[in-house]
Copies of this chain bind each other. A is one copy, B any other.
Amino acid sequence: MSDPLVIAGRKLESRLILGTGGFASLDALAQAIEASATELVTLALRRVDPTQRGSIVDVLDRAGVALLPNTAGCYTARDAVTTARLAREAFETDWIKLEVIGDDRTLLPDGPELLRAAEELVADGFVVLPYTNDDPILAVRLQDVGCAAVMPLGSPIGSGMGIRNPYNLRIMRERVELPLILDAGVGTASDAALAMELGCDGVLCASAISRAQDPTAMAGAIRAAVQAGRTAHLAGRIPRRLHAEASTTDAGLPDFDAPPAGTPHGAG
């Protein structure tokens, strides 16, 4: 029973997008890709280093995954647009994970610059997946300018703090029809499950996997958690209550103590 994530017409059987930052080696990355079952993987552009051995592109090609280049490190719409165009040239894909950050300590997105870059890239034919904060209004604006998905954070990149404000994601889900991909903050499996239960369509995860003590195992865990959360979301959870709701009926409860009421004991 297929339940694919569809972004810009592309069907992805896996709802987990893997970020490649932080893996200790290309081998570790290759193993995590396999364990994660992902079909879409991010990568970045940096200056050529003549001493570098091994190419991440080869690893990703061998794994058969689609590429999602990012614009990490850009602080302005202009730099992000340039970087996106270089990525298109380098990787022959129109897809771009758009990052325009405001600060190198929080790596939080700069909303106005992000919106500007998104608008320009959409006009230039890109399939734009913006990394944004958890602001529902900005998410709607990004939808309005023609992005292909909206990728809010749960908490800062690499912080592992999970979803700090689930209410914002709930409100965002009410307002945004595009695919919602939780894009930062996952620290462990339950965070990924929660994202899906809140109505996200997918999860993008890098550090939680790449920097775990056992990245391959964590890739499997988060893969399972994304599926579990998705299934749970569709299965319709029970409501929350302050008090208890018995799971065992009181009907037919034995009475070991008193003689039945109103019975003249020993009367027979």
Q: Provided the pairs A110-B137, A136-B106, A218-B237 are in contact, do residues A189 and B228 lie with their beta carbons within 8 angstroms?
A: yes
**Interface check A188, CB cutoff 8 A:** yes
Report yes or no: B111 in contact with A239, Cβ–Cβ below 8 A: no
**Interface check A88, CB cutoff 8 A:** no
When distances are taken between beta carbons in the complex, the residues of chain B under 8 Å from A110 are 137, 141
**Interface check A8, CB cutoff 8 A:** no
Report yes or no: A141 in contact with B160, Cβ–Cβ below 8 A: no
When distances are taken between beta carbons in the complex, the residues of chain B under 8 Å from A115 are 112
Report yes or no: B254 in contact with A46, Cβ–Cβ below 8 A: yes
**Interface check A187, CB cutoff 8 A:** yes
Nearest Cβ on chain B to A234's Cβ, whole angstroms: 6
Q: Provided the pairs A228-B228, A244-B159 are in contact, do residues A46 and B136 lie with their beta carbons within 8 angstroms?
A: no
When chains A and B are docked, how far (Å) is the Cα of A138 from the Cα of B108?
10
Report yes or no: B190 in contact with A197, Cβ–Cβ below 8 A: yes
**Interface check A193, CB cutoff 8 A:** yes
Report yes or no: B248 in contact with A21, Cβ–Cβ below 8 A: yes
Identical copies of this chain, number? 4
Report yes or no: B222 in contact with A228, Cβ–Cβ below 8 A: yes
When chains A and B are docked, how far (Å) is the Cα of A187 from the Cα of B155?
23
**Interface check A146, CB cutoff 8 A:** no
Stretch of A57-65, A121-129, A204-212 on the interface side: A204-212
Q: Provided the pairs A167-B164, A212-B237 are in contact, do residues A140 and B102 lie with their beta carbons within 8 angstroms?
A: yes
Q: Provided the pairs A82-B256, A254-B46 are in contact, do residues A164 and B161 lie with their beta carbons within 8 angstroms?
A: no
When distances are taken between beta carbons in the complex, the residues of chain B under 8 Å from A234 are 214, 217
A 166-180 contacts with B by CB, 8 A: 167-168, 170-171, 175
Binary contact readout A214-239 vs B (1 if CB under 8 angstroms, 0 otherwise): 11011011111101110110111111
Report yes or no: A212 in contact with B231, Cβ–Cβ below 8 A: no
Q: Provided the pairs A159-B244, A225-B193 are in contact, do residues A187 and B112 lie with their beta carbons within 8 angstroms?
A: no
When distances are taken between beta carbons in the complex, the residues of chain B under 8 Å from A165 are 164-165, 168
**Interface check A13, CB cutoff 8 A:** no
When distances are taken between beta carbons in the complex, the residues of chain B under 8 Å from A212 are 235-238
When distances are taken between beta carbons in the complex, the residues of chain B under 8 Å from A83 are 254
